[in-house]
Amino acid sequence: MADDDMLSWDESVFRDEHVLELDYLPDTFLHRDDQMETLKYALRPAVRGSRPLNVMARGPPGTGKTTAVQKLFDKLRGVSDVDVVRVNCQVDSTRYAVFSRLFEGLFEYEPPASGISFKKLFGQITDRLVEEDEVLVVALDDVNYLFYEGEASDTLYSLLRAHEAHSGAKIGVVVVSSDLGLDVIEELDTRVQSVFRPEDVYFSAYGEREIVDILSERVERGFRDGVVSPQVLDRVAAYTADSGGDLRVGIDLLRRAGLSAEMRGSTDVAVEDVESAYEKAKYVHLSRHLRGLSESEAALVRVLADHDGEQAGDVYEAFSEATDLGYTRYSEIVNKLEQLGLIETEYADVGGRGRSRALSLSYDADAVVDRLDGEAG
């Protein structure tokens, strides 16, 4: 490699590396005009001081649902008498935790860590809305986690019935789900179904040409000129399409490939950088899910790493020995991990003893444990 193809120690292939981070909110939001128009239609009444329409935004992971909500919320923050709060339900997965986050969003400080009942917390939120004549728009991002914890119906019921509990309280709800196997309406209690009639906004997986368009803009803003060739971009787009059109895979892959090029001291990203980075980038979903696990849920994942493919009863014995937890909690965790796509279950006949489930990790066991250790560290 010639010297002019080598980076000096203080140079970078990046123009703005933050553009290639997963929490970056792009100025231009391509290929989502129809979805944005429906969201604007539903939320526009809030600008006029009325309760907005409720919305259900759903679609595969990495298809722009959260970005759409954040961009609209940024605009609504500039409207007087409208409050917006986005709740990450992977982190706040109980009704109390959701309302604590709403309290913090309205009052700009956290409620007391203990000693305040849900009824009082709820009352302080609705009092504020009525006294200030404000409209609150709530986004329950990754609402599927509320369902996994059995908290979805109670949470939505409290939000949707707030105006009955406190006349004049105006709250609109946007639920966001990436779990295509979850029928949000069907899984809610009938008391919630009767009042939850949301506008349905579907975010389909991006096609490969759409992926190229979107990633091209990230490349233009994030990398220096000429660093990423069309061939490299096409390879990243192909991997992204293979992942179900999840843009987060492609964005993460671009950044890792850039870091790989820098590690080599190169002034441009090569296809080989993409190939080596893909082994790490393809685990972006795994890392995201592992971050949201409780201690007991992570413990079962560790047990499965040592007992991959074994019968559910044998796995339970090892899990119980490690945690002292009972079978009911074990079964709940198994169901949640399966819904998250972290584990797979397969029923098989066990000679003369009927049918039994075998449990397997959906990812390489070493990769799972490495990332669990990284989260713990």
358: CATH: 1.10.10.10
Name the band, by pLDDT with cuts 50, 70 and 90, for residue 376.
low
Shared domain check, 119 and 52: yes
Domain final position from 159, 187, 202: 202
CA distance to 30, 362, 374, per residue, from 322 (Å):
48, 22, 20
Q: Is residue 252 part of a domain?
A: yes
> Pick from 253, 368, 278, 269: which is nearest to 21 by CA?
253
Same domain, 81 and 180: yes
Judgement on whether residues 263 and 276 belong to the same structural domain of the protein: yes
Instruction: Please check whether residues 99 and 142 belong to one and the same domain.
Output: yes
In this predicted structure, what is the pLDDT of residue 93?
92
pLDDT over 70 at 2, yes or no = no
3-class SS of residue 192: helix
Position 360 in a domain: yes
Query: In the predicted model, what is the mean pLDDT of residues 264-292?
Result: 87
Q: Which is higher by pLDDT, 340 or 200?
A: 200
- Residue 80 pLDDT class (50, 70, 90 cuts): very high
Same structural domain, 195 and 211:
no
The dihedral over CA atoms of 284, 288, 289, 290, expressed in degrees to the nearest 10, equals 100
Residue 341 confidence class, pLDDT cut points 50, 70, 90 = confident
My answer on whether 184 and 213 are in the same domain is no
Share of the chain above pLDDT 70, in %: 95
3-state secondary structure of 190: helix
Domain boundary pick from 137, 170, 202: 202
Tell me the pLDDT band of 113, cut-offs 50, 70 and 90: confident
More confident residue, 370 or 37: 37
Query: Hey, what are 110's tokens?
Result: 């956290």
- For residue 287, the model assigns a pLDDT of 85
Choice between 334 and 289, residue whose per-residue pLDDT is larger: 334
pLDDT band at 131 (very low <50, low <70, confident <90, very high): very high
Residue 326 predicted with pLDDT over 60 = yes
Q: Do 44 and 153 belong to one domain?
A: yes
Q: Which string of DSSP letters, residue by residue, matches 254-266? A: HHHHHHHHHHHTB
Last residue of a domain, one of 202, 220, 240: 202
The pLDDT score that the predictor gives to residue 244 is 83
User: Residue 36 has what pLDDT?
Assistant: 98
Question: Looking at residues 274-302, what average pLDDT do you find?
Answer: 86
pLDDT band at 1, cuts 50/70/90? very low
- Same domain? For 10 and 143 the reply is no
- Average pLDDT, stretch 26-35? 96
**Which residues make up each annotated binding site?**
63-67, 206, 218
Which of 88, 87, 81 has its CA nearest to residue 102?
87
Assess whether pLDDT exceeds 60 at residue 268. yes
Averaged pLDDT for residues 301-324: 94
**pLDDT given at position 45:** 98
Considering the domain boundaries, does residue 8 fall inside one? yes
Annotated binding residues for ATP: 63-67, 206, 218
Residues 351 and 319 reside in one and the same domain = yes
**pLDDT over 50 at 310, yes or no:** yes
pLDDT, tens digit, for every residue of 226-263?
Answer: 999 999 999 999 999 988 889 999 999 999 999 999 99
- Please give the residue range of the domain that contains residue 341: 291-376
**Claim to verify: residue 127 and residue 267 sit in the same structural domain:** no
Do residues 186 and 326 share a domain? no
CA distance 46 to 135: 6
Q: pLDDT, tens digit, for every residue of 171-207?
A: 999 999 998 888 999 999 999 999 999 999 999 999 9
- Please check the confidence at residue 353 and state whether its pLDDT lies above 60: no
More confident residue, 122 or 243: 122
Full strand arrangement of the beta sheet holding 170-177: 82-88, 135-141, 170-177, 55-58, 199-202
- Render pLDDT for 144-162 as a digit per residue (tens, 0 to 9): 999 988 999 999 999 999 9
